[in-house]
């Protein structure tokens, strides 16, 4: 791995970010530099910047990391997978939090794809692309829960159509359990917005007034945490947190995390969108505070996954219980 850091001079004023690097790194092509910037390997004034055409200013600093060469094709790795269903067309995996789904910049090894190649052998070859064999949808690295993986081209085409259509004309059900700060004012509701990348922080998503993509999340309050409980399945105004079920009608990047934060109830442990995290922590009992600090991820779990089998057309429905790290938090509130 090579790291190069430069200070921008007066001669660079108004120059493109990628061209500035290319002018200084004669042994690296501009197209390679552009790719590295888009993959998040470059920083501008200490912050990641993935826009090659950004115009630089004198006195600012820029830095780029050139990773060591990696094999173009993911290699099999014998990593344990929790397979809850498998036949000759597909398999359903209960993904652990912390596992990246497919190889990308900074995560070329130890991914679910590496594990799947070892588990399935040559049967995944070429299905869905070299870097994403069999993958028809994904979960964030720090989100746990159910995923379906295609083992044949036929299954990949069928499942990809279902996910692209969001189940509007066929069977597709995706439900998540989330632990959120506060308690929604209504027992259930629908969040319907557009979601796009933040202009100033391209790694983050946000609700946007113009552009972006349509995003629809249906949520339902399940249980208060930390407030007075009387057994009724209704929000409690004094609850510190809540268990909420979210059902996706679309599948945008970080959709549930962005939507719940947008209506004022960010996910517990969310390092990016959990704006109320620190203030809420101060009023927790010691055991609850410790449980939250030990979570080290957003409290989000893909608990229900349903779809039609691509060959038999049989309705398949899978459920996964709340994982232990989230359950510990619930027990301590």
- Look at residue 284 and tell me if it is in a domain: yes
The CA distance from 115 to 97, in Å, is 15
208 and 234 in a single domain? The answer is: yes
Active site residue 140: yes
| Better-predicted residue by pLDDT, 331 or 239 | 331
- Report pLDDT for 30: 83
Q: How many structural domains compose the chain?
A: 3
- Look at residue 124 and tell me if it is in a domain: yes
Q: Does the structure show a pLDDT above 50 at 273?
A: yes
158 and 185 in a single domain? The answer is: no
40 and 113 in a single domain? The answer is: no
Residue range 19-77, pLDDT digits in tens = 999 889 877 888 889 989 998 999 999 999 999 999 999 999 999 998 776 666 788 99
- Report pLDDT for 276: 65
153 and 184 in a single domain? The answer is: no
- Report pLDDT for 139: 94
- Look at residue 72 and tell me if it is in a domain: no
- Look at residue 215 and tell me if it is in a domain: yes
pTM of the model: 0.76
Residue range 216-260, pLDDT digits in tens = 999 999 999 986 544 444 445 568 899 999 999 998 999 999 999
- Look at residue 323 and tell me if it is in a domain: yes
Q: Which of 12, 18, 94, 140 is catalytic?
A: 140
CATH of the domain at 32: 3.10.290.10
Average pLDDT for 255-281 = 88
Domain boundary among 164, 195, 230: 164
310 and 228 in a single domain? The answer is: yes
Average pLDDT for 324-332 = 95
Q: Average the pLDDT over each of 62-66, 111-115, 282-286, 323-327 and give the range with the smallest value.
A: 282-286
Find the helix or strand (DSSP H, E) in which 119 lies.
Answer: helix 112-120
pLDDT class for 106, splitting at 50, 70, 90?
low
160 and 182 in a single domain? The answer is: no
- Look at residue 73 and tell me if it is in a domain: no
Contact assessment for residue 295 and residue 325, using Cβ atoms and an 8 Å cutoff? yes
48 and 105 in a single domain? The answer is: no
Reported in sequence order, the residue ranges of the chain that DSSP labels E, i.e. its strands, are 2-7, 42-44, 47-48, 61-66, 83-86, 90-95, 144-150, 172-181, 188-197, 205-208, 213-225, 241-248, 300-308, 315-319
Contact assessment for residue 246 and residue 191, using Cβ atoms and an 8 Å cutoff? no
CATH of the domain at 89: 3.30.2350.10
Q: Average the pLDDT over each of 9-13, 44-48, 272-276 and give the range with the smallest value.
A: 272-276
255 and 285 in a single domain? The answer is: yes
Domain boundary among 115, 146, 164: 164
Residue range 122-173, pLDDT digits in tens = 777 667 777 788 899 999 999 999 999 999 988 998 999 899 887 777 789 9
The CA distance from 199 to 101, in Å, is 26
- Report pLDDT for 68: 72
195 and 326 in a single domain? The answer is: yes
For the purposes of burial, counting CB atoms within 10 Å of the CB of 134, is it exposed (0-12), middle (13-18) or buried (19 or more)?
Answer: buried
Residue range 285-295, pLDDT digits in tens = 889 889 998 99
Q: Does the structure show a pLDDT above 60 at 102?
A: yes
305 and 181 in a single domain? The answer is: yes
For residue 50, give its domain range.
2-66
322 and 184 in a single domain? The answer is: yes
Domain boundary among 123, 138, 164: 164
- Look at residue 100 and tell me if it is in a domain: yes
293 and 178 in a single domain? The answer is: yes
- Look at residue 76 and tell me if it is in a domain: no
């Amino acid at each position: 791995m090579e790291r190069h850091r430069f200070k921008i001079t007066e001669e660079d004023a108004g120059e493109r970010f990628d061209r500035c690097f290319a002018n200084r790194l004669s042994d690296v092509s501009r197209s390679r530099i552009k790719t590295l910037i888009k993959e998040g390997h470059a920083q501008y004034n200490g912050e990641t910047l993935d826009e090659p055409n950004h115009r630089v200013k004198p006195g600012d600093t820029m830095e780029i990391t050139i990773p060591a060469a990696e094999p173009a094709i993911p290699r099999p790795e014998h990593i344990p997978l929790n397979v809850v269903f498998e036949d000759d067309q597909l398999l359903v995996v209960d993904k652990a939090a912390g596992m990246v789904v497919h190889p990308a910049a900074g995560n070329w090894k130890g991914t679910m794809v590496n594990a799947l190649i070892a588990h399935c052998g040559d049967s995944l070859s070429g299905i869905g692309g070299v870097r994403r064999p069999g993958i028809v949808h994904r979960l964030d690295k720090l989100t746990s829960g159910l995923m379906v993986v295609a083992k044949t081209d036929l299954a990949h085409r069928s499942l990809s159509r279902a996910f692209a259509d969001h189940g509007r004309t066929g069977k597709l059900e995706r439900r998540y359990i989330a632990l959120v700060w506060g308690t929604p004012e209504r027992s259930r509701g629908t969040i319907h917005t557009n979601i796009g990348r933040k202009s100033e922080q391209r790694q983050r998503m946000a609700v946007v007034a113009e552009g972006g993509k349509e995003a629809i999340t249906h949520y339902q309050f399940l249980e208060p945490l930390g407030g007075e409980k009387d057994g009724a399945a209704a929000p409690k105004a004094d609850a510190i947190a809540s268990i909420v079920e979210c059902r996706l009608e679309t599948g945008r990047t970080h959709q549930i995390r962005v939507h719940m934060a947008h209506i004022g109830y960010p996910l517990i442990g969310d390092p990016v969108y959990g704006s109320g995290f620190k203030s809420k922590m101060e009023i927790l009992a010691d055991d609850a505070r410790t449980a939250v600090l030990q979570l080290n991820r957003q409290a989000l779990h893909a608990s229900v996954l349903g779809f039609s089998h691509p060959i038999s057309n049989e309705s398949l429905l899978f459920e996964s219980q709340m994982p232990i790290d989230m359950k510990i938090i619930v027990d301590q509130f």
